[in-house]
Structure 1
Amino acid sequence: MICVETQHFNLNRILLLAIGLWPYEKSKFRKLQATLCFGILTSFVIFQLTALIIANCTADYVKIFSSATFFNICILNYNMFWINGHHVKNMLQQLQCFCNELKDENEFAILKKYGHYFRQFTIILIVMAICWLFIITFVPIWPQIFGSVLYINESQLQSQKIQIMTEYFIDQEKYFYLIMLHINAAICIGVTTLVGTGTLLLGCIIHICGLLTITSYRVEQITTKTSKNIKNQTMIYNKKIFYAVEIHYKIIKFCECLCSNFKGSFFLLLITTVSSLSLNLFGTFQNASLGDNKGFLLHLLLSFAIILFMFLVNYFGQEMINHNNHVYFTAYNSQWYNASLHAQKMILFILLRSSKDCNLNIGGMFVASFECFSSLIKTAVSYFTVMYSIEE
């Protein structure tokens, strides 16, 4: 027996519990925690946008909008899971139902293999997120931490300011550490949101790939001879093909529900992500030309995070398409002529359904795939090129 929540999604459970988004937790403390986290994220974006009041050059506008749009991505992800918590819970429950309906040890082994792969993938992303957080939050304040040891004077300490522009309408030198606390808390919540929600959605896609592999396995087993009795053989054929058709139908319905439940959120994420990437690419080149190393590092890190986020979504979307195509080719190349007439008709159902892509539709505009990733990158680069040409 496989328990999806504790065996495959336990790391996601820890991350989402930390920010109040785990759908199985509905206590008053969880609601307070979610409100607080969402409030910190939202207020951080607001205080970035208020910096437009004091901005006096194009570089400042780019710096403000590039970081603000990045954290808008975090807010959209947070809001998507907060509002659709019941849908997330239903998805996990459906995955558990799939696990409960597995028929033999080989099918358990296949799903465990994909679950192990998902856990390794989640651990790698968490480690990368910790390194990213370390660079973006601690590097700017090392002089403050070791100021007394390195004998750095007060003017040098105050010059070491975070590159994310904000305006709190208070004395920023006097309340420097309080402001830094708010900024770092928002960054930690935002990154935890991206990793926790992103890996959970990608985990659902990885499990779909595993279930499609199980579908292919069941199709391969349809014409395996298990009995010399023709009557028994026919019954076994019919039962195997029924199980294959059933799980394939449920997988397609699961994918359709996943896309429809988050369609609006995916659409907003798509627009915000492309806009943020364009602005951060522009900020990276702009700060490189001005010789601003800290600004260059900030925009480079934000651009890297966005490109990685886009690549992973499209990579696993492509994997889902490939696994569905494998089901089609497996059914097409099977020894269907050895099966009964009833089984042959049911194989036709798999061929017809798998001929249509089982995919992740992003906002009703794009299908997650390598082609989609290429299109989004080209769009972002084209916007960056326009901004760069206008700036010159």
Structure 2
Amino acid sequence: MSQFSCKMHTTEERYYKISQVLLKTLGLWPYQQSYFTRIHKMLFASLLLTFILAQLLVFVTTQYNINLLLKILSTVFPILFVTIKYCYFIIQANSVKKLLEQMRDDWKLLKNKLEVIIIEKYVYDIQFFSITSIVIGFLSLLLLTILQCLPFILDIILPLNESRPFRMFIITEYFINQEKYIYIILLHEILACSIALIAFYGTLMTLVTYVWHACALFKIASYHIENAVEKSALAILERQNLFCQRIIYAVFIHRRAIEFTNLLASSFTVLFAILIFVGVSSLSLCLFQFRQLITLTYNMIDILIFAFLIFMQLAYMFITNYAGQMVIDHGTKLFQAIYNGMWYAAPLHTQKILLFIMQKVAVNINLGYSSIFALSLKGFTTLVNAAVSYFLMIYSLRE
């Protein structure tokens, strides 16, 4: 028993590891609320907000025109998207902590090795997805940083009689001599973009970890229902008590999964609503700017930047909606497990119990913004279609 507990504890630590490291880096780990952590969060939030402000201040010193507005907003909105998520996680620290504690409590409920095997499969899926996506994201950021600093690098490697011209990828205004303080401005941009990417992955991985945990609980409940129904059909008279115990345990785990999912949905409903608006707007503006760059300027570096932004936003939309689809699919698995099982071989009173459970679990469980929008693959196509529609509207108005 001690060996099983030790293995369970090790698996649990692996389950939290990546999101834990990312949240600690951001100062968002709910079990660290020291004075230093508060300063940590204030510093990161300030870097993100001041970077947004530096872009908006361009309108103070530059003559306003609609093209400039669209160009500035196309870089402001992605940073704003991440900043909102970061600040929301600060506000919802108690909810993040409650969800983590419920996850730990759920681990303690695991009774046998098969349950650990089921939940470990979801752990490995999270690990593979997290490592792959983080490597892709930070390699892309490194490439863009090298391209941004390329004139400085070439001046060192292959110096000319005069310094190579330097241009910031993102238009900003600091009310200082940009040529004189270019290194400070560049440092601010790199730090803000790096924090934004870490916040993007840290909050995303945490939410995906929660969703995959709920899916694992649904899977365990379905496994016990399938096992109980089959066994009851083989020896219905001798094993009535064991059958009832399995049904009760399966329903208990299923109820825990529903409670966890409802807590997750209620904690982040406002966030989902805000991000839907900001995310669709951001994607529309980035698509418009990408289209302008391809047809008018042919600036490959700017094209790469907006291609990266579009890819990250589409990836985020797909991942979050796919996670919502996973919850919907796993939520109905218990119904399918009972329906496809040998329930007809059970006594009449047992069939009535199973039918009652089927009625309870037939209701779809989903994540999203109340009943208005549910995260799902259909929701992903809806968001993308909306973004493309707004992009086409902006493009037609600018023609």
Summarize the alignment of residues 178-257 of structure 1 with structure 2, pairs less than 5 Å apart.
178-225=184-231, 233-257=239-263
Residue correspondence of structure 1 range 1-392 to structure 2 within 5 A? 1=5, 2-3=8-9, 6-56=13-63, 57-156=65-164, 159-225=165-231, 233-291=239-297, 292-340=299-347, 343-362=350-369, 364-392=371-399
Structure 1 gap segments, 5+ residues each: none
Secondary structure of 1:269's aligned partner: helix
Change beyond 3 A, Cα 1:214–1:208: same
Q: Aligned partners of 1:349 and 1:175: how far apart in 2?
A: 71
Runs of 4+ in structure 1 off by over 6 angstroms are 226-231
Aligned mates of 1:6, 1:126 — CA distance in 2: 19
Q: Which runs of 5+ in 2 are unaligned?
A: none
1:267/1:364 contact within 8 Å kept: no
Q: CA deviation at 1:343?
A: 4.1
Cα deviation, 1:16-63, whole Å, max 9, x if unaligned, reads 111101111111111110111111111111111111223444332222
Letter in 1 for 2:280: V
- Distance of aligned partners of 1:20 and 1:160 in 2 relative to their CA distance in 1, 3 Å threshold: same
Residue pair 2:232, 2:240 contacting (<8 A) in 1 also: no
Aligned length: 390
CA distance in 1, matches of 2:189, 2:230: 61
Measured after TM superposition, the shift of residue 306 of structure 1 is 0.5
- In 2, are the aligned partners of 1:274 and 1:380 still within 8 Å (CA)? yes
Deviations 1:282-331 (A, max 9, x none): 00001111222222222211111101100101112112212222221111
CA deviation map 1:310-361 (0-9, x unaligned): 0101112112212222221111122223445554344234312321111112
- 8 Å CA contact 1:270–1:363 kept in 2: the answer is no
**RMSD over aligned Cα atoms:** 1.9
Query: Residue 228 of structure 2: SS of its match in structure 1?
Result: coil
Question: How far did residue 139 of structure 1 move?
Answer: 1.2
State the shift of 1:363 in Å. Answer: 5.8
> Which whole-Å CA distance do the structure 2 matches of 1:175 and 1:206 have between them?
46
Q: CA, structure 1 residues 344+49, in 2 after alignment: closer, same or farther (shift >3 Å)? A: same
Q: Evaluate the alpha carbon distance shift between residue 137 and residue 326 of structure 1 in structure 2; reply closer, same or farther with a 3 A threshold.
A: same
Normalised to the residue count of structure 2, the TM-score between the two structures is 0.93
CA shift for structure 1 position 162: 2.2
- Tell me if structure 1 keeps the 8 A contact 2:225–2:337: yes
Percent of aligned positions that are identical? 34
What CA deviation, in whole Å up to 9, does each residue of 1:159-210 have, x standing for no partner? 3222111100101110001011111111011100010110110111112111
Give 1:131's aligned amino acid: L
Per-residue CA distance 1:256-305 (angstroms, 9 max, x = gap): 11111111111111100000000000000011112222222222111111
